[in-house]
């Protein structure tokens, strides 16, 4: 039995390094280019697998990119028995990284949008995980089916509500925790400040983690809010750091670690990732 099942996306990331982000209508010459396996689901599964047995539920294309994505998960020790190929292209992401380590991302879902609710239900029945982690780069109805399966089977659901999208109340109510950044939290709650956002998130779900970048994170559970500071560092590349945070948190929770301590350890892991070039992770 796997401790964690990650239901989500896998993309081949096309990463361009540029001196700055182009303005609308402007062309900027890049300084470097690389391809990396990625996608929120794949990244989170790889991070979780470094700490516990982890399976990935997703769809890849019948192209070379799909074979690269499957090989990357295998390299990290992830169970890929439910990462199946479908006809057509795999998901891709177009990523621009500037010298300050910040990034802008455009996601092309492709095969990821062929992961259907029945696929997830069947896969999770076979995998029988202790914890399910999912995100929003797959169809909304598939996310809903994932939440229903977790509730029905009494399995802990961790929901990284990214990229931001409207979600039914019953999906949010099942999240333990809901993990969002400040932008996503504002879109969910309408709050202006992190403190207000944290308070309102607590009304939507069982528990929540509000990530604040260099300001750390706020962990909200059982009526209490805990601030976890982030290490002081100079970022090299922030791409995928949030996914490392989510994957490590999931692995720790699956082993019975409390949420605040799980998030603390995940913060350290994300900091190590930010200091490391993507190609070396």
Residue percentage of the chain with pLDDT more than 90: 80
What average pLDDT does this structure show over 96-107? 86
- Look at residue 279 in the predicted model and tell me its pLDDT: 63
Quick one: CA torsion of 85, 88, 91, 92, rounded to 10 degrees?
A: 140
Domains of the chain, first to last = 4-9+40-89+111-280 (3.40.1190.20)
How many CB atoms sit inside 10 A of residue 142's CB?
Answer: 25
Where does the pLDDT of residue 241 fall: very low under 50, low under 70, confident under 90, or very high at 90 and above?
A: confident
| Helical pair 117-127 and 140-153, crossing angle rounded to 10 deg | 30
Is 100 marked active-site? no
pLDDT at 213 over 90: no
Q: Which of 13, 79, 176, 243 is catalytic?
A: 243
Give the rounded distance of the alpha carbon of 152 from its chain centre: 23
- Look at residue 232 in the predicted model and tell me its pLDDT: 76
């Amino acid at each position: 039995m796997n401790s964690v099942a990650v239901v989500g996306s896998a993309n081949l990331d096309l990463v361009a390094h540029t001196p700055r982000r182009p303005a609308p209508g402007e062309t900027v010459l890049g300084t470097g280019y690389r391809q990396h396996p990625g996608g929120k689901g794949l990244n989170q599964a790889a991070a979780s697998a470094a700490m516990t047995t982890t399976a990935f539920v997703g769809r890849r294309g019948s192209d070379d990119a799909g074979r690269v994505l499957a090989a990357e998960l295998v390299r990290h020790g992830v169970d890929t028995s439910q990462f199946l190929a479908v006809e057509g292209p795999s998901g891709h992401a177009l990523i621009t990284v500037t010298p300050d380590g910040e990034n802008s991302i455009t996601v092309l879902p492709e095969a990821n949008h062929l992961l259907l609710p029945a696929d997830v239900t069947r896969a999770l029945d076979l995998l029988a995980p202790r914890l399910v982690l999912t995100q929003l780069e797959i169809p909304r109805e598939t996310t809903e089916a994932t939440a229903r399966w977790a509730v029905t089977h009494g399995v802990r659901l961790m929901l990284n509500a990214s990229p931001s999208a409207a979600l039914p109340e019953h999906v949010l109510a099942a999240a333990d925790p809901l993990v969002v950044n400040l932008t996503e939290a504002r879109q969910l709650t309408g709050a202006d400040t992190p403190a207000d956002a944290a308070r309102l998130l607590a009304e939507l779900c069982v528990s929540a983690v509000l990530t604040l970048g260099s300001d750390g994170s706020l962990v909200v559970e059982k009526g209490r809010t805990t601030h976890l500071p982030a290490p002081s560092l100079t970022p090299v590349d922030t791409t995928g750091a949030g996914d490392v945070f989510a994957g490590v948190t999931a692995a720790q929770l699956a082993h019975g670690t409390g949420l605040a301590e799980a998030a603390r350890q995940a913060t350290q892991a994300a900091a190590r990732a930010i200091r490391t070039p993507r190609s070396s992770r």
